[in-house]
Amino acid sequence: MVPVKLRMIRAGYCTHPERVVLQGGSWQTCSFPAMVGVISHPTEGLMLFDTGYSERFQKETAHYPNKLYAQLTPVFYRPEDSVVAQLEALGHRAEDVRHVILSHFHGDHIAAAGDFPSAWFVCSEEGYAALRPLKRITALKKGFLPGLLPKDFDLRLLPFEGRKKIDLGGRLGPFDTGFDLFGDESLIAVPLPGHADGHYGLLVESEKGPVFLVGDACWTSQAFTEQRLPSFLAQMIFSDRKAYVETLRGLHALSVERPDVAIVPSHCQTLWEGFEREAQG
Ligand SMILES: [Zn+2]
């Protein structure tokens, strides 16, 4: 197995009262970063895990009904927050990104998909098939804004399900199977059902050890360490509430069994602050 380099960046953030995302939490407004994994693979080159927000998100949510999305999750985003601007600061061009891996299709994860003209989109075919026929209100109800995806998305889709399915053999606690994305087990897509159709995490064998990017399987680290569900209101958007609870339980078990695996929910502010400090050296 060849370890890869992983760096987390933040492409905008949104805010919510804590108790929306954590039952029993306070009414205090908290920030939820839209984190993006920037991965350098020794032979496959540059890739991303999710894309965060972009200017396209603001355009797509400027009018009703989509405006409701932006009203439910107030977004803070400046042009310099875009993944492209941040990649440029790191010495990369948007064209260098060869794969964009998507955990799921909610707007805050796909909004910048159209910014990477050379990339394949590696994601769940099952998840996309469930959303593809939906338009306007029906799509919005699923947190899916079709206008965020580039027009040729279908032609550039590389389904997880078409990759080799492997047995994780205890490497990831109760999560026993995944799809080996590049045949070297450095990046493994692992189903984490419940939050949205075709929701996946990514096990990254990084130079610093295993990192499990879990997307929106939970929104904070506190959620899996304390096994705390979000509010009933937030649960209404889930595709399968029972599966969500099971996945959260699995993440808790993993954190106990394998403390060496860093579990990273996409929107955990505490983790983001740690990554930011690390990047600043
Ligand atoms: Zn989501």
Burial 151-181 (b: 16+ CB within 10 A, else e): eebeebbbbbeebeeeebeebbbebeebbbb
Asked if 52 and 84 touch (Cβ cutoff 8 Å), the reply is: no
pTM value? 0.96
272 CA distance to ligand 1 middle (Å): 17
Q: Are strands 120-123 and 209-215 parallel, antiparallel or unpaired?
A: unpaired
Residue 165 has φ and ψ, to the nearest 5°, of -80, 130
Q: Is the pLDDT score of 22 beyond 90? A: no
- pLDDT category, 76, cuts 50, 70, 90? very high
Asked if 34 and 271 touch (Cβ cutoff 8 Å), the reply is: no
CB atoms near residue 186 (< 10 Å): 21
For the chain, what percent of residues have pLDDT higher than 90? 81
- pLDDT category, 253, cuts 50, 70, 90? very high
Q: Is the pLDDT score of 83 beyond 90? A: yes
CATH number at residue 248: 3.60.15.10
Query: What's the pLDDT score for residue 24?
Result: 83
Query: What's the pLDDT score for residue 157?
Result: 98
1 CA distance to ligand 1 middle (Å): 30
232 CA distance to ligand 1 middle (Å): 15
Q: Is the pLDDT score of 49 beyond 90? A: yes
Q: Is the pLDDT score of 16 beyond 90? A: no
pLDDT tens readout for residues 101-157: 999 999 999 999 999 999 999 999 999 999 999 988 998 888 899 999 999 999 999
Q: Is the pLDDT score of 69 beyond 90? A: no
Query: What's the pLDDT score for residue 25?
Result: 82
CB atoms near residue 242 (< 10 Å): 10
Alpha-carbon gap, residue 252 to 278, rounded angstroms: 25
- pLDDT category, 6, cuts 50, 70, 90? very high
Q: What is the mean pLDDT of residues 6-22?
A: 91
255 CA distance to ligand 1 middle (Å): 21
106 CA distance to ligand 1 middle (Å): 5
pLDDT tens readout for residues 197-224: 999 999 999 999 999 999 999 999 999 9
Q: Rank 29-33, 46-50, 71-75 by mean pLDDT and report only the highest.
A: 46-50
Q: Is the pLDDT score of 73 beyond 90? A: no
The helix (run of H) or strand (run of E) holding residue 75 is strand 75-76
Query: What's the pLDDT score for residue 66?
Result: 87
- The count of structural domains within the chain is 1
104 CA distance to ligand 1 middle (Å): 7
Measure the CA angle with vertex 40, ends 48 and 169; round to 5°. 85
197 CA distance to ligand 1 middle (Å): 10
Q: What is the mean pLDDT of residues 88-104?
A: 97
216 CA distance to ligand 1 middle (Å): 5
Boundaries of domain holding 66: 5-280
Q: What is the mean pLDDT of residues 23-29?
A: 86
Alpha-carbon gap, residue 203 to 60, rounded angstroms: 31
Beta bridge partners of 205: 210
Q: Is 255 helix (H, G, I), strand (E, B) or coil?
A: helix
Contacting residues for 152 by C-beta, under 8 A, at least 6 apart? none
